[in-house]
Amino acid sequence: MKGSLYPIFVKSAKGAYVTDVDEHQYLDLCLGDTGAMFGHSPRPMVDVVARQIRRGITMMLPTEDSIWVGEELARRFGLPYWQIAMTATDANRFSMRLAREVTNRKKILVFNGCYHGTVGEMLISLKNGIGVPREGNIGPPVNPAVTTSLL
């Protein structure tokens, strides 16, 4: 089945559905982020986010909630320290740094064409048997052939 010639521009999302700007409703099968885990705009999450926005956002300083969250993560998983990431790209970057520290290896392994974030050294493609910056990429901060291997 061939996809549409035009991208879907989403206007809203609720539960398992998205509605586009032309008022067409689609079952969301993209399986991305919180929509896949909880559905779009679950009422309890909407209420908690609205309550927090009234208290303040992007304060970039610890809050009482951060103490509770840290203690709860330690209790549930038995690990005393946590690195919190706000994006998948940050999580990947943190994981790479930690893996390099633990293994003392410089290179990482990525699957050809499978990464969609913005970590420069993961924006790599296999060409003639070697890793090269992905076509259309705006110059990576490092040459990925130096830091990354492909499968």
| Alpha helices for 81-130 (secondary structure H) | 88-103
114's enclosing H/E stretch is none
Q: Mind listing the pLDDT tens digit of every residue in the chain (151 residues)?
A: 466 788 889 999 999 999 999 999 999 887 676 677 788 999 998 999 999 999 998 888 888 888 999 999 999 999 998 888 888 889 989 999 999 999 999 888 888 877 777 888 888 888 888 888 888 877 766 777 788 888 7
- pLDDT at position 5, please? 80
Closest CA to 34 of 21, 46, 24: 46
**Tally of CB atoms within 10 A around 131:** 21
Domain range list for the chain: 88-150
